Amino acid sequence: MPCISTKVNIELAPEKEAVLKEEFGKAISLFPGKSEEWLMLSFEDHCHLYFRGKNDVPIAMVDVNLFGKIDPKACNAFTERITSILEKHLALDPSNIYISYRATDYWGWNGSNF
């Protein structure tokens, strides 16, 4: 049950969003037991993001929420992969990307909790 929310301060064209969806779907398997089958994604463009007091360059904030425990080694690999994806497809400088991780003990779906 992973959910990845991505906010950028630039325009995210539909074809770029489709590529990110595909790439994030592959990358989620870096976490043991996680797959695209249960992955939920959200993308927001034109966000009012500021980093270092400025918003005149492309910036991204990626929030990764996972059900259960988080493997630190998987986080490292995932950060590397997501940063590479955003750099390649959106021309974001890796130094302007934040990625946060959160483990969730209770996750509701289909009218009940896991």
2-46, pLDDT tens digit by residue?
Answer: 999 999 999 999 999 999 999 999 999 999 999 999 999 999 999
Structural domain that includes position 61? 3-113
Q: Note the pTM of the prediction, 2 decimals.
A: 0.94
pLDDT 10s digits, 58-108: 999 999 999 999 999 999 999 999 999 999 999 999 999 999 999 999 999
Tally of structural domains, the chain: 1
Rg of the Cα atoms in the chain: 14
Q: Which helix (H) or strand (E) holds 76?
A: helix 72-90
101 three-class SS: strand
Instruction: Return the CATH number at 26.
Output: 3.30.429.10
CB atoms within 10 A of CB 7: 19
